[in-house]
Amino acid sequence: MSDGSDKQIYYSDYLKLDELLQCQELESARRGKVAHDEMLFIVIHQAYELWFKQIIWELSAVHRLFDSSTVSEPSVGEAVHHLERITEIQKVLVQQIDVLETMTPLDFLDFRDALIPASGFQSVQFRLVENMLGLRPQDRLTYGSGSYLSRLQEKHRKLLHESESRPSLFDLVDEWLSRTPFLDFGEFNFWSAYRQAVDKMLTQDKDSIESNPLLSDENKEVQLKALRGTRTEFDSLFDRELYDRLVADGKRRLSYNAFTAALLINLYRNQPILHLPFRMLTLLMDIDELFARWRHRHALMVSRMIGSKIGTGGSSGHNYLSKVAEHNRVFTDLFNLSTLYIPRSELPELPKAVVEKMGFSLG
């Protein structure tokens, strides 16, 4: 007797299209006057939520791969694949704004008031994505006196509170990087060699500024002041106490070991063992940048649609969203690494024995 497992799958049933295509209920129609573009508004935002669900699915896979005391090279490769998929989805999120902008401000006004007080700020899935990446409550740019949870239903506040208590991708990557072996083999010490190269580069920069006949004394002092700031950045690499003070002051977030490991990976990314870790770190920056780009495009769209009006959720609209685009980022330490790069020609050359020993597995 058949158990029904041989039943043929039908496209519409598999995708549950009967249910899915009944999920677009126009608030304007309920109020007695259909606003044509409300359908587009609903479809676009439902599509966003479906893509957020997929991003959460991919991030959950990365969390599982990195939630271990050791992370194998194949696991790093899998994580890179998941993160690459996320970045491609993010590009679609940005492109969807082009479709939404086919709706004019007057079209939006036909149904905008019916949406109050609902708002994209109430997207629980997007808040979950932010938490899974590592955006902490204290890092958020909030509006009003309440937290980002204040406009959510209790069940959603509980869900997000729980997500805050779990290790984020930032936390897991920090732990992974902290376990990276340092380039200190026998008589060769990378940091000593690197510091000599840094001192040489900064001394040359100082001499170049001071001897530049095209600069006024005032301009020279401005550039020398900036150079002193750069030297302080480098000093934090060689003085753990100084680095820890930067962390305490909120100027760094990655742990010292993780930050220095990330620098090593970037400087010597051409070493085969470092290819995947470098790709991993690059993708984390891509994700931060693409969400910033998406927020910025959203802010421009809001300005175009409502001008200086307040948002449906009660924020200052465009002004608030523009600030969030730059503020609510997670992996800023990785972006700041470029301050500490030196020319490839000045990098300490790794001894042959070190290169041979770099067959270790990061983890």
CATH number of domain containing 69: 1.20.58.480
Residue pair 261/238 in contact (Cβ under 8 Å)? The answer is no
Residue pair 57/116 in contact (Cβ under 8 Å)? The answer is no
Rounded to 10 deg, the angle between the 256-267 and 240-248 helix axes is 110
Instruction: List all residues 6 or more positions away from 39 whose beta carbon is below 8 Å from its beta carbon.
Output: 24, 26
In a domain, 189, yes or no: yes
Extract the tokens encoding 40.
């587009």
Residue pair 281/259 in contact (Cβ under 8 Å)? The answer is no
In a domain, 12, yes or no: no
Dump the DSSP string for 61-92.
HHHHHHSSS---HHHHHHHHHHHHHHHHHHHH
Measured between alpha carbons, how far is residue 59 from residues 67, 76, 98, 114, 258 in Å? 12, 13, 26, 35, 21
In a domain, 32, yes or no: yes
Instruction: List all residues 6 or more positions away from 304 whose beta carbon is below 8 Å from its beta carbon.
Output: 101, 105
d(CA 29, CA 18): 20
Q: Tens of pLDDT along the chain (363 residues)?
A: 556 667 899 999 999 999 999 999 999 999 999 999 999 999 999 999 999 999 999 999 999 999 998 999 999 999 999 999 999 999 999 999 999 999 999 999 999 988 888 888 899 999 999 999 999 998 888 766 578 888 889 999 999 999 999 999 999 999 999 998 765 666 777 888 899 999 999 999 999 999 999 999 999 999 999 999 999 889 998 999 999 999 999 999 999 999 999 999 999 998 888 999 999 999 999 999 999 999 999 999 988 888 765 554 444 556 777 777 777 899 999 999 999 999 888 888 887 877 776 665 455
**Residue 327: per-residue pLDDT:** 79
* Residues of the domain holding 233: 24-357
In this structure, what DSSP letter does residue 268 have?
Answer: T
**Residue 314: per-residue pLDDT:** 46
The residue written with tokens 């090593």 in the block is 264
The residue written with tokens 């491609």 in the block is 88
In a domain, 100, yes or no: yes
Question: How many domains does the chain divide into?
Answer: 1
* Single-letter amino acid code for the residue at 255: S
**Residue 309: per-residue pLDDT:** 59
Please state the pTM of the whole predicted model: 0.90
User: Residue length, the chain?
Assistant: 363
Instruction: List all residues 6 or more positions away from 114 whose beta carbon is below 8 Å from its beta carbon.
Output: 27, 28, 31
In a domain, 19, yes or no: no
**Residue 361: per-residue pLDDT:** 47
In a domain, 239, yes or no: yes
